Amino acid sequence: MMYIIIVGAGDIGIPLIDIATQSGNEVVVIENDPKRADHAAGEYDCLILNDDATAHEALIDAGIGKADALISTTDRDATNIMVCLLAQEHDVPAIVSVVHDPEHMNVFRQIGVNTMENPQELIAEYLYRSVARPAIVDYMRIGEQAEVFEITVSENAPIAGKTIFEAADEGVLPDDVLIVAIEREGQDPPLTPQGDTKIHTGDLLTVYSGFGATPELTDVFGHQKDQTK
């Protein structure tokens, strides 16, 4: 479990709050807009501070001294930069920010802050993927190349009927690919995969890939290669 401070409860911040709280982390949100703060407080089981995150006192109130990570998601790059600089003063181990203007990307990199790509670009990529690779139900980028995605095992998939150990041993499942969870009809909650867990046709897999959801990888789960590559 991590102690995470999320700055901003807007279009980008809300999904992050949802993911972070559902994953069992201790989350504190700082939102300057009273309506957004009230909305978030009514939806999520976490501390919501209606305050200005560029004010040092607000970060102190949020417990920045014990934070494992800070994610700044406001719609103004200048605000995000200021918040990240303040977080650095408190030696927060992981500092991440949204960047709206590509011209500001270098500023964030110079101060040593990890960045999330232009949100509009991510949305465009998501929409493109929904057409180009319909087999992928949902996905999340991690860093430059790694991704977590969901995919259903189709009939005649190379991995269907094999245990995870067999799939790895036979080279069907690459070394830097990990099956994180298996949703199977009639089984609740989802299965936590072990080496001897057999993959069935129809399973909905949550997959981590160190090199992303390439067409070659989606083939392993029985789907045609991306025809638009």
Domain boundaries, given as residue ranges, for the chain:
3-116, 122-220
- Say which CATH topology domain 3-116 has: Rossmann fold (3.40.50)
Q: Which two tokens stand for residue 198?
A: 């057999």
CATH assignment of 122-220? 3.30.70.1450
**Mean pLDDT of the 56-82 span:** 95
Amino acid, res. 214:
T
CA atoms within 13 A on the CB side of 131: 7
pLDDT tens sequence across 13-55:
888 888 888 878 899 999 999 999 999 999 999 999 999 999 9
Banded model confidence at residue 82, pLDDT cuts 50, 70, 90: very high
**At 7, is the secondary structure helix, strand, or coil?**
strand
